[in-house]
């Protein structure tokens, strides 16, 4: 069996340290430098010839993270690594997965092409914004599920009148999966947008009166949709409302929106580093989930046991 070596891009260093520690390895040494004009350069500071190399990097903005990841993949292939797996806890640009209006890019497919062309042999990620993005790759992709993190936490809360809610129609399948697992009902918040990050109207489909509502989403960006959904749900007579979302993008006025909202708490994971602390944001770790997946991949065993 080829030796396993784990490296990190500059955007996911803390998470990579936790994953490598859980796996039982020290994080590999790599130099990430820049020329004076901003051009990036990457080099591995140890031999990786014949090794199974795992490069951990979330690709949230800025775009440099994606290019840096591609450069590291290319460097690993040219250094004669046996296999290179790009571990992308948060896969950026996944919201642009189709042509929803004329003359736009399908950015998710472009990123998939870039990673494959750079030389990646495998992709490992968690909770893609759209599951069909897996089909954009012609190489194996391990799509981990955040439910392995959130289900134990929700079970610990033991909410007496639990009901799940989707903040939009597109997330119905995600919320339904949780509702089915806990054997409870679900409701849907139907929204209409004027443009990206701006909601024109929203209504709740279903009864939430006297219930402990958990909103389920894959990511939180400005938190506008989430906070508006929470307010409408409380106005409909809910006892409490909290939210779970795998990726805390949290851009713009997200922290302010969350602090001023009726949300009891927002539970996210550490796929993206938190920019600032908030009394309403709880962060759960994904290091154990990814380290187990790496063990399964390198040991040629099934990862299905990681799914709930």
Give the model's confidence band at 194: pLDDT under 50 very low, under 70 low, under 90 confident, else very high: low
Tell me, yes or no, whether 158 and 139 share the same domain. no
Tell me, yes or no, whether 157 and 183 share the same domain. yes
Compare 168 and 46 and report the one with higher pLDDT. Answer: 46
Query: How many angstroms separate the CA atoms of 295 and 247, rounded?
Result: 23
Catalogue the active-site residues.
191
Q: Which helix (H) or strand (E) holds 188?
A: strand 186-195
Tell me, yes or no, whether 236 and 261 share the same domain. yes
pLDDT in tens, 232-249: 999 999 999 999 999 999
Lowest mean pLDDT segment, chosen from 58-62, 282-286, 293-297: 58-62
Given a cut of 80, is residue 200 above it in pLDDT?
A: no
Q: How many domains does the chain have?
A: 2
Tell me, yes or no, whether 181 and 71 share the same domain. no
Look up the domain containing 40 and give its range: 4-145+287-306
Given a cut of 80, is residue 260 above it in pLDDT?
A: yes
Tell me, yes or no, whether 108 and 169 share the same domain. no
307 secondary structure, DSSP code: -
* Matching residue, tokens 């775009």: 63
H helices of the chain, in order, are 13-23, 64-78, 107-118, 147-157, 172-182, 224-235, 254-259, 287-298
Tell me, yes or no, whether 86 and 130 share the same domain. yes
Tell me, yes or no, whether 264 and 156 share the same domain. yes
Distant-in-sequence contacts of 137-141, Cβ < 8 A, 24+ apart: 137/112
Given a cut of 90, is residue 296 above it in pLDDT?
A: yes
What is the Rg, in whole angstroms, of the alpha carbon atoms belonging to the chain? 20
213: three-class secondary structure by DSSP:
strand
Tell me, yes or no, whether 100 and 180 share the same domain. no
Tell me, yes or no, whether 151 and 275 share the same domain. yes
Strand 212-220 relative to strand 240-248: parallel, antiparallel, unpaired? Answer: parallel
Tell me, yes or no, whether 137 and 216 share the same domain. no
Tell me, yes or no, whether 127 and 55 share the same domain. yes
* pLDDT value for 122: 98
290 secondary structure, DSSP code: H
> What's the length of the chain?
308
Query: How many angstroms separate the CA atoms of 252 and 254, rounded?
Result: 6
Q: State the helix-helix crossing angle for 107-118 and 64-78, rounded to 10 degrees.
A: 20
Tell me, yes or no, whether 256 and 151 share the same domain. yes
Give the model's confidence band at 197: pLDDT under 50 very low, under 70 low, under 90 confident, else very high: low
Given a cut of 80, is residue 297 above it in pLDDT?
A: yes
What is the token pair recorded at 92?
A: 């950026």
245 phi, psi to nearest 5 deg: -150, 130
The CATH number of whichever domain residue 45 belongs to comes to 3.40.50.2020
What is the value of pTM for the model shown? 0.93
């Amino acid at each position: 069996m080829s030796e396993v070596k784990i490296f990190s891009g500059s955007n996911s260093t803390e998470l990579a340290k936790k994953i490598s520690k859980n796996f039982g390895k020290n994080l590999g040494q790599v130099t990430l430098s820049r020329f004076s004009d901003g051009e990036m350069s990457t080099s591995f500071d140890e031999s990786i010839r014949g090794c199974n190399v795992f490069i951990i990097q979330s690709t949230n903005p800025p775009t440099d993270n994606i290019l840096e990841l591609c450069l590291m993949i290319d460097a690993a292939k040219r250094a004669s690594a046996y296999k290179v797996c790009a571990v992308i806890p948060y896969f950026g640009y996944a919201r642009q997965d189709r042509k929803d209006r004329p003359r736009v890019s399908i950015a998710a497919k472009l990123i998939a092409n870039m990673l494959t062309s750079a030389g990646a042999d495998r992709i490992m990620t968690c909770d893609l914004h759209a599951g069909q993005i897996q089909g954009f790759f012609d190489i194996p992709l391990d799509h981990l599920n955040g439910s392995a993190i959130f289900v134990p936490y929700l079970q610990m809360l033991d909410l007496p009148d639990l009901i799940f809610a989707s903040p939009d129609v597109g997330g119905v399948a995600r919320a339904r999966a949780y509702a089915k697992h806990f054997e409870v009902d679900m409701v849907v918040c139907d929204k209409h947008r004027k443009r990206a990050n701006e909601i024109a109207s929203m209504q709740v489909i279903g009864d939430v009166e006297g219930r402990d509502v958990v909103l389920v989403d894959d990511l939180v960006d400005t938190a506008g949709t989430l906070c508006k959904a929470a307010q409408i749900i409380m106005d409909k007579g809910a006892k409490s409302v909290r939210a779970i979302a795998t990726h805390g993008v949290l851009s713009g006025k997200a922290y302010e929106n969350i602090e001023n909202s009726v949300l009891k708490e927002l539970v996210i994971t550490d796929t993206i580093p938190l920019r600032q602390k908030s009394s309403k944001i709880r962060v759960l770790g994904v290091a154990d989930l990814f380290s187990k997946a790496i063990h399964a991949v390198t040991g040629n065993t099934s990862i299905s046991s990681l799914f709930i």
